[in-house]
Amino acid sequence: MANKKNENGLYPISPFQQAVASCCGATITSLLVTPLDVVKIRLQVQSNPLTKGKCFIYSSGLMDHVCVCENGNTKAWYKKPGHFKGMLDAFVKIVRMEGIKSLWSGLPPTLMMALPTTVIYFTCYDQLSEALGATLGKGDFIPILAGSLSRLGSVTVISPLELVRTKLQARQLSYRQLHVCISNTIAKDGWLSLWRGWGPTVLRDVPFSAMYWYNYEHLKEGLCKRYDMHEPTFMMCFASGAISGSIAALLTLPFDVVKTHKQTQLWECETLNISQRKSASTWTVMKKIVAESGFTGLFAGVIPRLIKVAPACAIMISTYEYGKAFFRKLNKKQMENN
């Protein structure tokens, strides 16, 4: 590790320390956001019971998760019935009747995907930003390029794991059976079959990441200049994350709606073990949505998405930056003692 400050006047940290900081951020975000998901899904299932072979996608703010249904009863953590009048009523009744731990009953599937994705994503972003800055110099394009490439990489690495997780959830396979199932899939459809659903995910997540990091870096830098600080405070990062996350979520919502349509169809085929018809293009799905629901159909669920994404982005980035600040102080102390 270098023994001097970087160009921003900050002590450098190692990739391992960046990974630890992002892992802590993902864990804290999941712990705080998962109760909202548990309540939301319980309300959703109460009003719209799922039929056999159906599935839907929910997001913890960090990762999307596919939940499947069989014989009219969900096989996931939200299967208990309830009679809730609203979100606050659901919170109170779930805690009173099932215990406060039930609010985090969706945590395992969240952490299983969120931790590796977040570690890859945030660590790659910082490493790419430093490398691109050193090679190409400073510029507004650095956050856009680094954010896009890091998200593209994390989605590509995690997509097969999401496929494996969904197969396990849908069919309750042993690991040996899972290996046989995946081997047969590869033999039949090729290695690319492990990345089904990759396209719609990239179309939503890469533009989101580009806009998010561009706005975040500009907001953070503006606040630091305004208060004459080298390093942003926790609240500066929190506010910048919330605002940039909201903007990116709003502008990429049509792609999120299309992704949900296509991914739900994909996993229904996986759940029922039936052959999938040729996937419609993003443009075709958009035209279908507009024809059936009007232009506003492309922005369906805008309020729930903003309510979920804004705090998730704010919590994640502020805890991540706090973790990096902790390691910078630790490195500074070690360098001064040497």
Can you give the CATH number for the domain in which 100 is found?
1.50.40
Residue 65, phi then psi, degrees to nearest 5: -135, 140
Residue 239, pLDDT score: 96
Residue 209, pLDDT score: 95
Residue 202 lies in a domain: yes
Dist CA 14 CA 170 (whole Å): 40
Residue 253, pLDDT score: 84
Residue 144 lies in a domain: yes
Rounded average pLDDT over 306-324: 91
Lowest mean pLDDT among 38-52, 100-114, 209-223, 290-304: 38-52
Residues 312 and 29: beta-carbon distance below 8 Å: yes
Residue 93, pLDDT score: 85
The more confident residue out of 236 and 36 is: 236
Residue 41 lies in a domain: yes
Triad 161, 164, 168: Cα angle to 5°: 140
Residues 254 and 310: beta-carbon distance below 8 Å: no
Residue 295, pLDDT score: 76
87 has pLDDT over 50 = yes
Domain extent at residue 242? 15-47+80-330
Number of domains in the chain: 1
Rounded average pLDDT over 91-96: 85
Residue 10 lies in a domain: no
Q: Among residues 307, 315, 195, which one has the least CA distance to residue 253? A: 307
Residue 54, pLDDT score: 63
Residue 77, pLDDT score: 46
Tokens (6 digits) for 109 = 């599937």
Chain-centre distance of CA 147, in angstroms? 14
Residue 147 lies in a domain: yes
Rounded average pLDDT over 48-72: 59
Residue 7 lies in a domain: no
Tokens (6 digits) for 257 = 């709606």
Residues 83 and 46: beta-carbon distance below 8 Å: yes
Three state DSSP letters for the chain: CCCCCCCCCCCCCCHHHHHHHHHHHHHHHHHHHHHHHHHHHHHHHHHCCCCCCCEEEEECCCCEEEEEEECCEECCCCCCCCCCCCHHHHHHHHHHHHCHHHHHCCHHHHHHHHHHHHHHHHHHHHHHHHHHHHHHCCCCHHHHHHHHHHHHHHHHHHHHHHHHHHHHHHHCCCHHHHHHHHHHHHHHHCHHHHHCCHHHHHHHHHHHHHHHHHHHHHHHHHHHHHCCCCCCCHHHHHHHHHHHHHHHHHHCHHHHHHHHHHHHHHHHHHHHCCCCCCCCCHHHHHHHHHHHHCHHHHHCCHHHHHHHHHHHHHHHHHHHHHHHHHHHHHHHHHHHHC
Q: What are 135-174's pLDDT values in tens digits? A: 888 888 999 999 999 999 998 988 777 666 656 555 555 6
Residue 126 lies in a domain: yes
Average per-residue pLDDT in the chain? 79
Token pair 């790419």: residue: 128
201 has pLDDT over 50 = yes
Residue 76, phi then psi, degrees to nearest 5: -100, -165
Distances (CA, A) of 325 to 4, 152, 241, 282: 15, 27, 16, 41
Dist CA 196 CA 88 (whole Å): 38
Q: What are 263-283's pLDDT values in tens digits? A: 666 656 655 555 555 566 777
Lowest mean pLDDT among 16-30, 66-80, 94-108: 66-80
Dist CA 146 CA 153 (whole Å): 11
Rounded average pLDDT over 66-79: 52
Residue 319, pLDDT score: 95
Residue 61 lies in a domain: no
Query: CB within 8 A of 177, min separation 6: which ones?
Result: none
Distances (CA, A) of 26 to 123, 125, 131, 152, 290: 12, 15, 24, 18, 35
* Residue 156, burial from CB neighbour count under 10 angstroms (0-12, 13-18, 19+): middle
Q: What are 238-263's pLDDT values in tens digits? A: 999 999 999 998 998 888 777 766 66
